[in-house]
Structure 1
C-alpha cells in the first residue's frame, strides 16, 4: 500500500509545494489531492500534476474524487498519475468496480459513519474496494463530504472484526489521534482539517506533530499486540 504498509499515515487536502514538502519531511506515507470543487482544499488537475511530480517516488499519491464517472476518473488519472483513487461520494460497489477497471488503480472507498447502522455498508464494499476509510458523516447541509473537523463516536467500531483493516478519518488532530488509535485500532489514519490553521490552509508544525503522535501511537499498538 505504502512505504509503511504496517500503519500508513495520510495527510490529505494538500495544495502548495511548501506544505507538501512539510508532509514529506514529516514522514507521511500518503498524501491526498482533493478534486471536489466545493472543498476549500480543491486543486485543479494541472496544479495537482505538479504537486504529484514533487511527491512521486517519495510517498503514495492519492486523488480524492466525489461521484466521478469511470471516464472522468480515467482522464484525471492520466493527468495526475496517482497511486490511489479515494472515492468520497455516494459511489455504489458497482461504480467502484467500474472505476477500478477504467483506471487500473487501487481504490480506497470512504464511508461516512454517524451511528451503528452505517457500519452495515461495510459488507457491500468488502472485496470490491482495495481499502476502506471510515470517516465522520458530514452535516446534512454540508457542501462537500468528510468529517468537517468533527470525529464520530469511535466506540461504534468496538464490535468490528479485529481482522478487518480500515483507515480512520474524521476530526483527527495532533491532540486526539493517540486516543483514536488506541480506541479503534485502525490500520492507518487520515487527516485534513486537523492540521490546518484555517480551512484549506495547512499548518507545517501541526503536520509534523500529527505524524509524530500517530507514529508513536501505532508503535504502542503494535507492541501491545505482540505482548
Structure 2
C-alpha cells in the first residue's frame, strides 16, 4: 500500500533538494501572506520548476478567489490545490470543477464532534488533510502552528476516508502518530524547522526516515 509524505512550506532551493533527495512524495508552497512560509509567485515558479518531474507539487491557498487561484496555477502548475481556509462544500466543488486540479481540503480537529463534518467534504476532495484546529487567539494562523490534536479521535473515522495527518508532527512522534491513526499519508511543516519558516535539511531527512520506518513496521 502506498505510504505518502508531504513537506509543506518549502521556500528555498536547498530545502527543496533536501525534501526531494530524502524521498518526499509532495512538497508544498504556501501562498498565504501572513505565513512565515509565504513565497512570492516568482519564488514559487522557480521552486516549482526545480521540483517538476521529481515530486508532486502542492500550492496552499487560504480562502482564495478565482483570480488568485488562476495566477497560482499559471506560476506553479501544481499537481494539487490545498485549500486551507473556510471553504464551503460548494466552494470546494466549484474550485475542483473549474480548475481541473485535484484538491486537498484541510479540516481542523479538536474533539470528536469535529469528525461529523468530515464526511460532507470527503466526496468533494481527492484527499482530506486533518490538522489541529488553530488556537483561538488574535492573528493565529490557519495552520503551521506546530500543535497536535488527540490522534486517538481518528480511530472513530470511517476507514474508507482517504486522509493525510498533520499537526505537530516531528521525527520523534511521527511513528506513534502513524501507529495510533493508521494514517498512510503525513504532512509536516513546523516540525522540520529550526525557526518559524526556516526549514532544516537535517530535520527534513530525519522526519522522512522516521516516517518510512514507521510505515515499514506497520506493514510487517
TM interval, shorter chain, is: over 0.9
The residue that corresponds to 1:181 in the other structure is: 178
Moved more, 48-57 or 162-171: 162-171
8 A Cα contact 2:122 2:161, kept in partner:
no
The residue that corresponds to 1:110 in the other structure is: 106
Unaligned runs of 5+ in 1: none
The residue that corresponds to 1:63 in the other structure is: 59
Q: Please give the TM-score of this superposition, normalised by the length of structure 2.
A: 0.96
Are 2:188 and 1:191 equivalent residues in the alignment? yes
Q: Quote the Cα distance in structure 2 between the aligned partners of 1:128 and 1:163.
A: 14
The residue that corresponds to 1:73 in the other structure is: 69
8 A Cα contact 1:170 1:191, kept in partner:
yes
Are 2:27 and 1:31 equivalent residues in the alignment? yes
The residue that corresponds to 2:38 in the other structure is: 42
Are 2:133 and 1:137 equivalent residues in the alignment? yes
SS at structure 2 position matched to 1:126: helix
Per the TM alignment, residue 6 of structure 1 is displaced from its structure 2 partner at its CA by 0.6
* Distance change in 2, residues 1:71/1:97 (3 Å): farther
8 A Cα contact 1:11 1:23, kept in partner:
yes
Moved more, 50-59 or 67-76: 67-76
SS at structure 1 position matched to 2:96: helix
Per the TM alignment, residue 147 of structure 1 is displaced from its structure 2 partner at its CA by 5.0
Per the TM alignment, residue 105 of structure 1 is displaced from its structure 2 partner at its CA by 0.4
Unaligned runs of 5+ in 2: none
Q: Quote the Cα distance in structure 2 between the aligned partners of 1:146 and 1:62.
A: 15
Per the TM alignment, residue 27 of structure 1 is displaced from its structure 2 partner at its CA by 0.5
Once the two structures are superposed, what CA deviation does each residue of 1:26-57 show, in whole Å capped at 9, x if it has no partner?
10000000011000000011110100000000
Q: Quote the Cα distance in structure 2 between the aligned partners of 1:168 and 1:139.
A: 18
Are 2:7 and 1:11 equivalent residues in the alignment? yes
